[in-house]
Structure 1
Amino acid sequence: MKSKLVGYLILTVGICFIGYASWGIIQSNVKANDTLEAAKKIVEESPSKSSKDNFLPKQGETVGILKLPTIKAELAIVEGTDPEELEKGVGHYKGSYFPEQNGQIVLSGHRDTVFKQLGELKLGDELQVEIAYGKFSYKIIDTKIVDSDDTSIITLQNEKEELILTTCYPFGYIGNAPQRYIIYAEKK
């Protein structure tokens, strides 16, 4: 009798954990979809109002769309990489550059929500960034796996334009991942 009760208790706790985790993922997906709709409006309505020189979004502001044609994904880009921003979509690393600003563009996202299919991308695949002042295409030229505390990939260099995508790795890992998956792309 006692072992049966313990079994039911463990089962109930497990179901609660799964439910809680599932609810979090669903909520994040809903926020990401809402933010994507806002991003589409920004990209469609703003071309004449912005230029690369006066493009200075505020923390948490929706700034554009990242398109990954190979995996048929459209993801909102939000300024900042704090948890609040990453719940809404792909975070633009504050201090990094935007297209045509001749520097390192760093975009980060969660591996279990917006970047869940990132591992399916291959060298040569196209990445597209759409923001208020234009549409820009990039080609994947390299990938790398680094330790989670390795910040050497974010140099904020201002010598040549490059797009860098970052997410936690391994993709199926439960909990805080020990590594980061990095994609490097150059302007087409």
Structure 2
Amino acid sequence: MPVYHRPDDSRPTRPAPSRPKAPLWRKLLSFVGVPVLFFAITAGVIYLAAAPTVGPYVGLAKYLFSKEETSQPTNLYEGLANSIENATSVPFSQLVYPSKGDQYGQITIEGTSVDAPLYYGDSTRELNRGVATYADSVGAGIPGESRTVLLAGHNNTFFNGLQDVQEGSLIHIDTHYGSYMYRVTEMKVADYQDATTYDFTRTDENLILYTCYPFDALGFTPQRYFVYAEYVSGPMIDKSK
């Protein structure tokens, strides 16, 4: 029977090849770059999550404490409100029609805390400064145009007082061309995408106010609180003159 011999373990063995040392830039990337990248990503996520909540407050603070004259909108209302407040009609040729960003009035609602400047346009800039007027449809207008006047305000600032509105409450809007009064007829909660909440085909003077709902909500909410009001008094804009 053949005899098998084990391999001779006494033979010298080759040393294992050594791994090359990592370059210095890789070490720096591991100890510095990765934490910095992680911090940047985390900060970005926190900003995106918090922006809808703190945005209105930051914008309002900038408006209140800013000293830059160029950041202030044109104030058509200041010093002009009493000049034609008793007029029954306003010739369109004599009307200084507001541009986006202009303050052209003041809105107050009896029995509530609503008392805010009224701006033309409804961008973030106008909403952070007061009550904003929707201006991106030919069917939407300003008081006196015999159209739908659609006004928006933040639920946690200028329009927080809408929660105290009652049917029959009187809404006063003083503009640089006349004073208007509306009476509340209805309040309701609806989805922000519900297009039936307003009608830009109407040719009669009507007012709609809306804000985010619930009133104590922070950031984006899918619901809106609507207040509808009928025209009571105020000069009508005569576009034939």
TM-score class normalised by the smaller sequence: 0.7 to 0.9
Query: In the alignment, does 2:103 pair up with 1:62?
Result: yes
Given that residues 52 and 99 in structure 1 are in contact (C-alpha distance below 8 angstroms), is that contact kept between their aligned partners in structure 2? no
Of 187, 191, 216, the match for 1:172: 216
Of 72, 75, 98, the match for 2:116: 75
Matching residue of 1:129? 173
Cα distance in 2, alignment partners of residues 155 and 101 from structure 1: 15
Write out the 4+ residue segments of structure 1 that deviate beyond 3 Å after TM superposition. Answer: 20-23, 37-42, 44-48
Of 44, 51, 55, the match for 2:90: 51
Pairs within 5 Å for 1:19-168 = 21=54, 24=58, 27=61, 30=64, 39-44=77-82, 51=90, 53-54=92-93, 55=95, 56-94=97-135, 95=137, 96-168=140-212
Given that residues 52 and 133 in structure 1 are in contact (C-alpha distance below 8 angstroms), is that contact kept between their aligned partners in structure 2? no
Distance 1:47 1:151, change over 3 A: same
Identity percentage over the alignment?
25
Cα distance in 2, alignment partners of residues 171 and 25 from structure 1: 19
Counterpart residue identity of residue 30, structure 1: L
Cα distance in 2, alignment partners of residues 23 and 113 from structure 1: 9
Counterpart residue identity of residue 27, structure 1: A
Q: CA deviation at 1:182?
A: 0.5
Distance 1:137 1:111, change over 3 A: same
Cα distance in 2, alignment partners of residues 137 and 58 from structure 1: 23
Distance 1:102 1:52, change over 3 A: farther
Given that residues 97 and 156 in structure 1 are in contact (C-alpha distance below 8 angstroms), is that contact kept between their aligned partners in structure 2? no
Cα distance in 1, alignment partners of residues 76 and 177 from structure 2: 16
Distance 1:128 1:23, change over 3 A: closer
Q: CA deviation at 1:70?
A: 1.3
From the two aligned structures, give the one with the greater helix fraction: 1
Q: CA deviation at 1:178?
A: 1.5
Tell me how large the CA RMSD over aligned residues is. Answer: 3.0
Structure 1: which 5+ runs fail to align? Answer: 1-12
Given that residues 52 and 101 in structure 1 are in contact (C-alpha distance below 8 angstroms), is that contact kept between their aligned partners in structure 2? no
Moved more, 170-179 or 120-129: 170-179
In the superposition, the TM-score normalised over structure 1's length comes to 0.76
Post-superposition CA distance 1:84-141 (Å, at most 9, x none): 1111110011041222221111111110110011111110000011112211111000
Structure 2: which 5+ runs fail to align? Answer: 1-45, 66-71, 233-241
In the superposition, the TM-score normalised over structure 2's length comes to 0.60
Q: CA deviation at 1:68?
A: 1.2
Cα distance in 1, alignment partners of residues 114 and 164 from structure 2: 12
